[in-house]
Amino acid sequence: MNMKRFAILALILAFCIPSLSQTGTKKKRPLPYDFGRVVINNYSENSELSPVVFQHWIHRSRFTCRVCHVDIGFGMKAGQTGIRAVDNERGYYCGACHNGKMTVDGKPLFAACSRKAGYDDQKRCERCHSLGKKVQSDQDFFTFSQPLPKERFGNGIDWEKSEEIGLIKPAAHLDGFTSPRRSLAVQKDFDLNPKVEGMPDIIFSHKKHTVWNGCELCHPDIFMGVKKGSSHYTMVDISEGKSCGACHVSVAFPLTDCQRCHSKQVQP
C-alpha cells in the first residue's frame, strides 16, 4: 500500500516539478526566412480558405515601406486593414500589384483574389492562402539572401547595406497609388540619451527612416510626442510593439540587435 502511495506521489511530482520551475513562456526566435511573416485571417477561414501568409522579405526587397503602408494603405498590424477579396479584385491592397499584369523580372505577377475563381484556380489561391499547407514559392529565401550582406538577427540580412551597395533597389513609387512628390530633403540624424548609466546613446538615423517610410507613417500615429524628449519610451513598451517596436520587433532588425540603436560610444 505504502509503495502504491509512493509511486503515485512520485508520478505527480514528476509531472508537476518541470512546470513549476518555468515561469512565463519562452518565445521562440523565428527562423531567418520566417522573420517578418504575417498571418492574416480576417475572412479567410469563414470562406473556407486557409489564412494568408505574407512574407515581408520578398516584398521589402522590391518596395519601400512607404509604398505599401502609406500609398497602398496596409495597416501596421496584422488584420488591421480588413482586406477583402473584392478589394484585391478591384485593384487595391494586394491587387495593386498582384493584378496579373504587373511584371517582376520579366514574369507577370499572379493575380490576387477573383470572384470568378474556380477549382482550377485553387493553386493560385494557395499562393497566399497557405497557412498549414506546403506551398512551393517562386522565391527561395536562401537563393535570394545568399549574395546579400549578412546580419546576426532578424532575416539575417543587412537590408540597409544591401540597398547601399545596390544589391536591392526598393522602389519608392507605384503607379496609380503614389502621389507625385519631390524627393525628401535629407533629415539630420540625432542622438537620444537612454538615461541608463553605461548604456550607449541611441543614434537615430532620421535619414534612413524618412527615405523608407516618409513622415506620415511614423508621425503622429507611432510617435506622438511633438517636442524632442517630451515622450518617454521604455524597452518594455517597445517590446510590446509600441514606438520603435512597431517595426523593430517583427520586421525591421529586432531588439536583440542592441548595438544597431545604442551605437554611440559612452564618453569616459
Partner 1 sequence: MTTYVGRRVMVAVLLVAGFAGSSVFARGAPEPQGAQAPANEAWQREFDHVCSRTQDAMSFSEEELVAFVRRCDALLPQIEKLDETRRKVYVGRLKMCRGLYAYVLESKRNEKK
Footprint of partner 1 (CB under 8 A): 70-73, 75, 81-82, 84, 86-87, 89-93, 95-96, 99, 175-177, 179-182, 184-185, 210, 214-217, 219-221, 226-227
- Phi (first) and psi of residue 87, to 5 degrees: -65, -45
Q: CB nearer to partner 1: give 206 or 262.
A: 206
Q: How far is the CB of 100 from partner 1 (least distance, A)?
A: 12
List Cβ neighbours of 18 (8 Å cut-off, separation of 6 or more).
none
Q: CB nearer to partner 1: give 18 or 180.
A: 180
Q: CB nearer to partner 1: give 81 or 205.
A: 81
CA–CA dist 97, 91 (Å, integer): 8
Q: CB nearer to partner 1: give 157 or 217.
A: 217
Closest CA to 160 of 33, 37, 257, 243: 257
- Residues across the chain: 268
| Alpha-helical regions (H) of 61-103 | 65-66, 85-89
Q: CB nearer to partner 1: give 97 or 148.
A: 97
- Phi (first) and psi of residue 99, to 5 degrees: -120, 5
Closest CA to 126 of 117, 135, 118, 115: 135
- Cis peptide upstream of residue 220 (ω within 30 degrees of 0): yes
Q: CB nearer to partner 1: give 148 or 246.
A: 246
Q: How far is the CB of 124 from partner 1 (least distance, A)?
A: 19
Q: How far is the CB of 220 from partner 1 (least distance, A)?
A: 4
What SS3 class is residue 72? helix
Q: How far is the CB of 231 from partner 1 (least distance, A)?
A: 12
Cell numbers of 39, please? 498571418
Q: How far is the CB of 160 from partner 1 (least distance, A)?
A: 20
Is the CB of residue 155 less than 8 Å from the CB of residue 57? yes
Pairing of strands 190-192, 107-108: unpaired
Q: CB nearer to partner 1: give 120 or 175.
A: 175
CA–CA dist 66, 178 (Å, integer): 9
Q: How far is the CB of 256 from partner 1 (least distance, A)?
A: 30
Q: How far is the CB of 93 from partner 1 (least distance, A)?
A: 8
